[in-house]
A and B are shown apart, each in its own frame.
Chain A
Amino acid sequence: MKQVIQTLYPGLISLVLLLTLAPSSGLSSPDASAAPPKPTDPATLRQLQGRYYSLSRQLAQLMPGQPYILVDTARNHLYIRHRDRVMLDALASTGSGTILDKPGEAQSQWVFDTPRGEFFVQSKLTNPVWVKPDWAFIEEGLAVPKNQAERMEPGVLGEYALGFGKGYFIHGTLYTRLLGKNVTHGCIRLNDEDLKSVYRLAKVGTPIMIF
């Protein structure tokens, strides 16, 4: 067996090297028809430069001119930035990514993610009261109450809440030891001090970018 391997070994290595070198002969390289750059006449270059600067200005105009909120859900940080300046860097808690089956609905689930993308502050509340949704009862094995009053739970969301659509809020928490972890049902939690800063700096219409 050893003799067979020793005999085949050089041939095997040669084959490996051949297969390795062959793809670099042009099959995966950049465009082979790329010719050396031709000199460009000054008028054409000026036209290209003009278009480039015009588009750069258009892109700059799309950037928020006001402070905006940036949420990093992987690292659980919330920032308020204004142009290149970071005005606030806050430890947060974002969505856990877990799922909960909806009873009585086949193939239907709640997915507890913090939504990603661009949003805007839609509402600003003081002393918010949590109106517990159905999942808050179901995940604890409790019956969903018919009486709306039984859903109300004051004092768990902190002093302020900022809504950004479809039931998602930036709010406070009693569980500050869990800040920095993905533990929420989709909302963004902050400690009291940072929440107050966000409430003070953000207005209705402030952009929120979440990734």
Chain B
Amino acid sequence: MTFIPSLFSLILTLIPMTSTVDPSSRPFVDVTDAAALQEATRVLAEEVKVAARPQTYVLIDLPANTILLKGRGIELHRIPIKHWSTSDQHELIMTFRLKERPLVTRRKIDPSISPEQEPISLADMPTAYSLQFTPALTITLDSYGQASLWGMAAHFVRQWWRLVIKWWRAIWTEANSAVAPELDLTVSVDDAQSLAWMLTDGMPVLIRRPIH
């Protein structure tokens, strides 16, 4: 019984470190705000280069709390972000390329038994994974289902543990040594699987940063 208030306190302490979002928010640029305009222009300049090639790409719009899959500047699919946090916004200014999409176990057809085989589906996609990029960037994607209290609790515990690891690493890392930027994103379970499905090796990723 004494454990429950302590657990509740623990959960409350995690709230200030996340950004809870309105999933209906849309990208907006205040053209009278020079800093916001500068950031939007920076991203737009990169997007024009990427969109000019026949490829799909991802735009992570942190101020709008949205992940957009795009092609030729057209929005193909949209994923709302529940929470995000980052180690250093300064480093998130390049066009990053995904090294490898999340791995999934594929089923093999065995002609000696049957040509039929259970096809891969969204349910086979991972719900939490880490993505590595060139130039160096790590995006850690976590998820939880809205209706699952246990899922939410497990998510907060994972988030807390990642923060502990980062804090511990920061203690033992020298102040002037380069650390690759990290971005943590939390989405719904369905959206995490959707994103894992949509990503391809070498896919370009752009990030729009909040200014204020």
Contacts and interface: CB of A to CB of B under 8 A. Distances in A.
A87 to B, nearest CB: 15
A172 to B, nearest CB: 19
Interface in A13-30: 13, 16-17, 19-24, 27-28, 30
A49 interface: yes
Interface of A: 9, 13, 16-17, 19-24, 27-28, 30-31, 34, 37, 40, 44-45, 48-49, 51-52, 55-56, 58-60, 62-64, 68, 70, 72-74, 96-101, 111, 116-119, 138-141, 181-183, 207, 209, 211
Contacts of A21: 13
B166 A23 contact: yes
B167 A27 contact: yes
Interface in B47-78: 47-48, 51-52, 54-56, 69, 71-74, 76-77
Nearest to B74: A63
A97 B106 contact: yes
Interface residues of B, number: 66
Per DSSP, chain A at the interface is: mixed
B34 A48 contact: yes
Contacts of B170: 27
15 contacts: A23-B17, A27-B87, A28-B17, A58-B48, A64-B74, A96-B119, A98-B107, A117-B55, A117-B56, A118-B71, A119-B54, A141-B111, A182-B121, A209-B74, A211-B76
Contact of B164 (A19, A31, A98, A101): A19
Interface stretch (B20-28, B38-46, B130-138, B142-150): B38-46
B163 interface: yes
Given A19-B167, A49-B31, A64-B72, A74 B197 contact: yes
B47 A59 contact: yes
Contacts of B197: 73-74
B175 to A, nearest CB: 12
Given A51-B41, A52-B44, A99 B106 contact: yes
Nearest to B51: A62
B164 A23 contact: yes
Interface string B1-37: 0100010011001101100000000000101111101
Nearest to A26: B170
A180 to B, nearest CB: 11
Contacts of A141: 111-112, 115
Interface in B103-126: 104, 106-109, 111-112, 115, 117, 119-122
Given A19-B167, A37-B212, A99 B108 contact: yes
A121 to B, nearest CB: 13
Nearest to A111: B106
